[in-house]
Chains A and B, each alone.
Chain A
Amino acid sequence: MTRGDYAVLALCALTLPALFMRYGLPGSTGTQARITTGNAIYAQVPLSRAHIYRVPGALGISEIEVRDGRIRFNSSPCQGQQCVHSGWAKRGGEFIACVPNRVSISVLGQGAGGDYYDSINF
């Protein structure tokens, strides 16, 4: 290898960790979720701590469960129960909403790499 090659390798060693820290790679599971009620943020919660959140909405209380790094609607006062049937969400960008009760959950992507999904089609 030439001295120039060594110089490029040294540049790699110095800059790549910084680039990964800055931009990251998408696809990781989320570490936090944002719960909103109406147009307001109710809480931003860690997915590492098992807990049940009781969130007031337009119709009543939505029960939201965090367990094993995942989050879901455990129960809801809505008629259709679509939010409950949606099951667990864990990847950055995953999103579950109870439209009738105006309560929603957004899983937040890990680090600066952002969410795995930019939006959800349903």
Chain B
Amino acid sequence: MWQRRAFLKAAGAGFAASLLPQPAEALARAELVFATATQERPGQYGARVLTETGKLIADVELPVRGHDVTYSPEAGRAVVFARRPGTFAVVFDPTGQAAPQTIASVEGRHFFGHGVFSPDGRLLYATENDFEAGRGVLGIYDVAGGYRRIGEFQTYGVGPHEVILLPDGKTFAIANGGIETHPDYGRSELNLDSMDPSLSFVDARDGHLVGQLRLATELHQLSIRHMVVDAAGRIWFGCQFRGHTGMPQLVGYATLDGDIRLIELPPDALAGLRNYVGGLAISADLETVAVSSPVGGTILCIDAASAAPISQTLLASTCGVATDSSGFIASNGLGQWLGLDGSAVGAQKFDFQFDEHLRQLRS
């Protein structure tokens, strides 16, 4: 059970002591809290926790660019993962009270930028690369044991990117992007001709493969990378096309029953995504899916029930998109954010740049 207000109350109480009166007041009023990796200045990176009015609650410094942030109210901690091929993740207190803690990747593995806590907040799972074997794994970390790595599950594919825990609380959905990388080649993609992306469902209790879905063979260069779950329990996903010619559909959904399909976006909506979906978010009522494209500078809102696009918002360099109490907030690499699709959040420009993902902090 998500206890947003309890968290905010605690955050506000604990943090007020170290704040000037004005921000403390802002924090007390805050409804929602968001987290993002940032570029503070050229060459300087971090992660920030912000209220929906843009007030800073907590921040951490990072030695290189971060990617996604995951949060557990039960653990009382957020984790920002280094961008692939990252060798660290930083655990931090989103109320800004406790000192951050760094998790180093173990030998033979590196992080892929995403992860998720178990529902009880006792375990952290991170997508990782077993780069000599060229296979994806989910690293398992014991929260109470100081984030010691206690094991790993297979992702049953190459190049896992995002992992989410489905609402049943016991099944992971893992987007195996299908792209092989090796730290000796940095971020270079080594197998674009033989990519085999898939969506794996993995049992969180023992790591066995519950099911695995692939798109049609001719779409093997469509890298499945990010996901959200809608009101009907369908797993929506966004893809990036690594082929050279054509403009395939990029957004689809899958079910635990084994259905997987790409929805038919009309040509103008699809063209605006420029063969690249960078992030997804689901509305608070679980009925609208937002997909962002930094290449196209576009956020597309899609009605989940009918799979029809509702609106297309233009915002240069946008990638971060997060659930607001109503609608979404989109952020970009120019330090801007903007509420859309019914969000009351106003356009604001910050003195740092938002990195790719923006998250509302909730379970």
Partners in one complex: no
Binding site for A on B (CB under 8 A): none
